[in-house]
Chains A and B, each alone.
Chain A
Amino acid sequence: MDPALIKLAFGGLAVLGCIGLVFGIGLALAAQKFAVEVNPKVEAVQEVLAGAQ
């Protein structure tokens, strides 16, 4: 293998991995900051009900 290609591949992996990590953390923080309290009863009732879709 051409060492330049290997460098490109690892560089790409590192860059995209870092971007993914940053965005993932960002989204997680945003989800925490903008958390909306959901009534747990809604899900419980919906689970009991018969659902075709």
Chain B
Amino acid sequence: MKFIKCYKLMAVAVVISLVLISGCKNKHSYVSKAKFKGDHNIIITFAGEVDTAWAKDVKNYGIYAKPDPDIQLTISKIIPGSDKKTVDLYFSDAIDQNQPHILTIKNIMADGKNLGSTVVEVKKLYFGFLFSILIGAFLIHNFVFTKYLGLCVFFGTSQKQSTAVGMGITFMIVMVASAMMSWAFYQFILKPFHLNFLQIVVFIGLVSLSVQAVDTVLRKINPALFKAFGVYLVLVIANCVILAVPLIIANNEYNAAESFMLSLGAGAGFLLALFLMSSVREKLELANVPVTYRGLPIAFVVAGLFALAFMGFSGMVIF
């Protein structure tokens, strides 16, 4: 028992050190970091003091956005920091921070010595980017309230809170499983064989496969949970959010971590929408609703109000 624990700890330590090592690769020893500051500035921090005359020369820097290497951005002003360790590059045109930029620094001069040239990649914090995908799919571009997808299941299963939550959790599990599978299929089978035009057919097949697999396995392994899911598991196949997410992933060429975050956010967003809606609809049962509005019509009105409330998130940018 003790040994197993020891191995687990070691495995965790190895993984963490690998992540740390991969995080620090590709850096010139004298450039400690380079990052965006606002829309017009990039700040380079050196490990030690650099010569001011060298730092002020525009010719010593070259920068371009990673997708278009032949378009060099022009630096309009250079402000060396007071401690001589930082250099502030000012661009008159706004920089697109969503794209990584390649910064070349030539012949770094420090204490009259030439320390050679280096190439640094300037990009936004990657975990921040992942987090923004998650929150984006969860709240800002909530699939139900801002894109109006998956409404049939949304209205069909939001009458009672317990069923709504059960449906939401089932949905989240199937969503993540099928999105990850679709990502792997798209990257490793459809793209190499140039079959991109078949993506909708293949993704629908994968969704039904994962639903059927969950159904079969769950029936045997956990009958109580299976009973709780009931008919909703099969209903997931007929949902359009579950098809929309793999299509978005394929369109944006997301990698594994990004697709996981997007599908998790979409699933959690659907769960949130179902939970909110079912809470309101349970209260509506007690309200004095005009006869013509009872049932589905008032539910549509409520969904509209929710959509209005979710509009408050629109245009929000994280990181």
Contacts and interface: CB of A to CB of B under 8 A. Distances in A.
A27 B216 contact: yes
Given A16-B202, A20-B205, A27-B209, A34 B189 contact: no
Contact of B198 (A16, A27, A36): A16
B221 A12 contact: no
Contact of A23 (B195, B198, B209): B209
Main DSSP-derived SS at the A contact region: helix
Contacts of A11: 193
Interface string A3-31: 00000100110011001100100010011
A8 B195 CA distance: 8
Main DSSP-derived SS at the B contact region: helix
Contacts of B212: 27
B227 interface: no
A30 B189 contact: no
A20 to B, nearest CB: 7
B213 interface: yes
B230 to A, nearest CB: 15
A3 B219 CA distance: 48
B234 interface: no
Contacts of B220: 34-36
B216 A31 contact: yes
Interface residues of A, number: 14
A19 B216 CA distance: 20
Interface residues of B, number: 16
B235 to A, nearest CB: 16
A20 B198 CA distance: 14
B209 A34 contact: no
Nearest to A32: B216
A12 B193 CA distance: 7
B5 interface: no
B194 interface: yes
B217 interface: yes
Nearest to A19: B189
Nearest to B220: A34
B219 A36 contact: yes
Interface string B183-220: 00000010001110010001001000100110011011
24 contacts: A8-B193, A8-B194, A11-B193, A12-B195, A15-B189, A15-B195, A16-B195, A16-B198, A20-B205, A23-B209, A27-B209, A27-B212, A27-B213, A27-B216, A30-B213, A30-B216, A30-B217, A31-B216, A34-B219, A34-B220, A34-B221, A35-B220, A36-B219, A36-B223
Interface of B: 189, 193-195, 198, 202, 205, 209, 212-213, 216-217, 219-221, 223
